Amino acid sequence: MSASGGLVALAGRLERVPGLLGLAKLGNVALAMLWGFVVTFVFVRLLPIGEFRTFLLLIAFANFTVSAELGLTSIAYSRLRRDRIAGEGSFRSEEIVALFWLMAGIIALGACLIGAAILARLIPTAHPALFIAFYGVSAVNLLAILARRALAALDHNLWWEGLDFVRRFTGIALLFASLAGLPILESVVLQLALALCLLVVGLAIVHRSLAMTPAQWLAAGRGAAHVRAHYLADFGRTGALTLFDVAAYNAPYFTIAAATHDARPLLLFDFAFKTSRALSAVIRALIETTLPGLTRDYFAGDIAAFRAGLVRCLRWMLLVAAASAAGIVLVGRPLSHVIFAGNITIQWIELVMISVLLVGLSVICVSVYLQNGLGRFGALVGPSFAFLIGSLLSAPLAAALQEHWGWSLSMTFIALYAVVHLVLALVHGRMLARLGGEATS
């Protein structure tokens, strides 16, 4: 056995150690959260505030790009996982190849659009190479999602977590190095190079686990035929679901920018966005820790075990959300002051609204991540569309109501945005209750 094969086998054995996979995922979530905050911490100090505002819009565009896979990787995970557990035999490795080339094309298209927008002065910046390179660092996550979900379906979760730890830890170190004298462009380019190298390593394990040949990676047409044959039934639902969710989470960047030139509401939303994404990342990590068992019980028909796991999972997520909400109230003001270099002071009532938002978000995340893993994509489309409408209307309604309520635009927006999350949490809570009830019927 080769050295790399021995490491993969060791990771496979360690993955079965109770709690170890969860700790690994939580460790990477902590690094992912830290990386997001460090990006803001570094760039707000290296860029003028006007250009940093433009940089935030670039981040939003990169988030849209990462989500442009439209749920295809979720379908791939569900198909590969079901094939591995139930032995249906319908999955073909060329499906991974077709998705890989599709996503690589999406990333390239996004880079071309950003480059054209910079040339046309639609994105005003004195650092075009930096913006494009940072887009690359963010957008390569699109391919990383494919690798992560394929490895998860093949029970190689811990191996990917190890690779991701190296990427995120090194990325944070390189960002801080830019404050110590390393040119920020070099820092970002090195992060991009490392991310690509580790992606190749991850895909190599998928290649070996599925007994693929090098020629198969060029057989995109054959893989596309499998995707058309087996993915189109769910693609409309997953595509709509992804578009709705991504637009809902990122739309306030654009609606706030359209409503006011004041940077404060945008910075407040960016703080809420980062904290909510941090919580959702923690919940995703915990869900992915339990998902192998939940999917195994669900697809194998072990109803009692599935329901017990679902109830236990929801209790843990609510506990995590409550702890996060309390943490935001306690340390939110000094944390935001440090992150945004003193450009915003968040009021206590705004922190309370963000905390309420986080509790609602926890229920939404459990429902979305679990039902995606089970292949129940259609059930999520309606609530996802409602979330999009609420997110789109929050900033315009805040602009219309702020004088009537006697609040600032920032406070009015964050209050309405929190209400949207609470309403959707009730909807998803009912869905989870019905899912558990169906499992016992």
CA–CA dist 413, 148 (Å, integer): 35
Check whether residue 296 and residue 378 sit in a common domain. yes
Check whether residue 97 and residue 73 sit in a common domain. yes
Check whether residue 264 and residue 340 sit in a common domain. yes
**Residue 224 maps to a domain:** no
Nearest to 16 by CA among 202, 293, 286, 209: 293
Contact 177, 232 (CB under 8 A): no
Check whether residue 279 and residue 212 sit in a common domain. no
CA–CA dist 393, 414 (Å, integer): 12
Supply the pLDDT for residue 440. Answer: 43
For residue 66, what are the domain limits? Answer: 1-218
Distances (CA, A) of 340 to 74, 136, 137, 335: 35, 24, 22, 9
Check whether residue 242 and residue 175 sit in a common domain. no
Check whether residue 241 and residue 133 sit in a common domain. no
**Residue 295 maps to a domain:** yes
Check whether residue 34 and residue 108 sit in a common domain. yes
Q: Tell me which DSSP letter residue 67 carries.
A: G
Q: What's the angle, vertex CA 63, arms to CA 91 and CA 430, rounded to 5? A: 70
In the chain, the number of structural domains is: 2
* Helix residue ranges per DSSP H, 260-302: 263-300
Check whether residue 126 and residue 207 sit in a common domain. yes
If you write DSSP's letter for every residue of 363-423 in order, what string do you get? HHHHHHHHHHHTT--HHHHHHHHHHHHHHHHHHHHHHHHHHHHT--HHHHHHHHHHHHHHH
**Residue 404 maps to a domain:** yes
**Residue 223 maps to a domain:** no
What are the residues whose beta carbons fall under 8 Å from the beta carbon of 353, sequence distance 6 or more?
411, 414, 415, 417, 418
Distances (CA, A) of 146 to 70, 71, 149, 278: 12, 10, 5, 21
**Residue 419 maps to a domain:** yes
Nearest to 208 by CA among 417, 369, 24, 4: 4
Q: What tokens were used for 183?
A: 């040119």
**Residue 228 maps to a domain:** no
**Angle formed by the axes of helices 409-440 and 303-339, to 10°?**
170
Supply the pLDDT for residue 170. Answer: 94
**Residue 152 maps to a domain:** yes
Supply the pLDDT for residue 124. Answer: 79
If you write DSSP's letter for every residue of 122-156 in order, what string do you get? SS--S-HHHHHHHHHHHHTHHHHHHHHHHHHHTT-
Residue carrying structure tokens 């190095």: 177
Report the helix count and the strand count for the chain, using DSSP H and E: 15, 0
Contact 36, 274 (CB under 8 A): yes
Domain final position from 170, 193, 218: 218
**Residue 226 maps to a domain:** no
Supply the pLDDT for residue 70. Answer: 66
> The pTM is what?
0.68
Check whether residue 65 and residue 158 sit in a common domain. yes
Supply the pLDDT for residue 418. Answer: 95
| Phi and psi angles of residue 126, each rounded to the nearest 5 degrees, phi first | -95, 0
What are the residues whose beta carbons fall under 8 Å from the beta carbon of 261, sequence distance 6 or more?
none
CA–CA dist 350, 355 (Å, integer): 9
Domain final position from 165, 195, 218: 218
If you write DSSP's letter for every residue of 73-132 in order, what string do you get? HHHHHHHHHHHHHH------THHHHHHHHHHHHHHHHHHHHHHHHHHTTSS--S-HHHHH
Check whether residue 269 and residue 157 sit in a common domain. no
Check whether residue 292 and residue 394 sit in a common domain. yes
**3 state DSSP class of 255:** helix
- Show pLDDT as tens, one digit a residue, over the chain (441 residues): 455 555 555 555 666 665 677 788 888 888 887 888 888 889 888 888 778 878 877 877 777 677 666 677 878 887 888 777 766 657 788 888 888 998 899 889 988 988 888 888 877 788 888 888 998 998 888 899 899 888 888 878 788 888 889 999 999 999 999 999 899 899 999 999 999 999 999 999 889 888 888 888 887 777 788 777 777 766 677 777 877 887 888 889 889 988 888 888 888 998 999 888 888 888 887 887 787 788 777 777 777 888 888 888 888 888 888 898 899 999 888 888 888 877 888 889 999 999 999 999 999 998 988 888 787 878 888 899 999 999 999 999 999 998 888 898 999 999 999 999 999 999 998 888 887 665 444
Domain final position from 218, 252, 282: 218
Nearest to 340 by CA among 30, 31, 39: 39
Supply the pLDDT for residue 40. Answer: 84
Check whether residue 38 and residue 111 sit in a common domain. yes
Give 16: exposed, middle or buried? Use CB within 10 Å, 0-12, 13-18, 19+: exposed
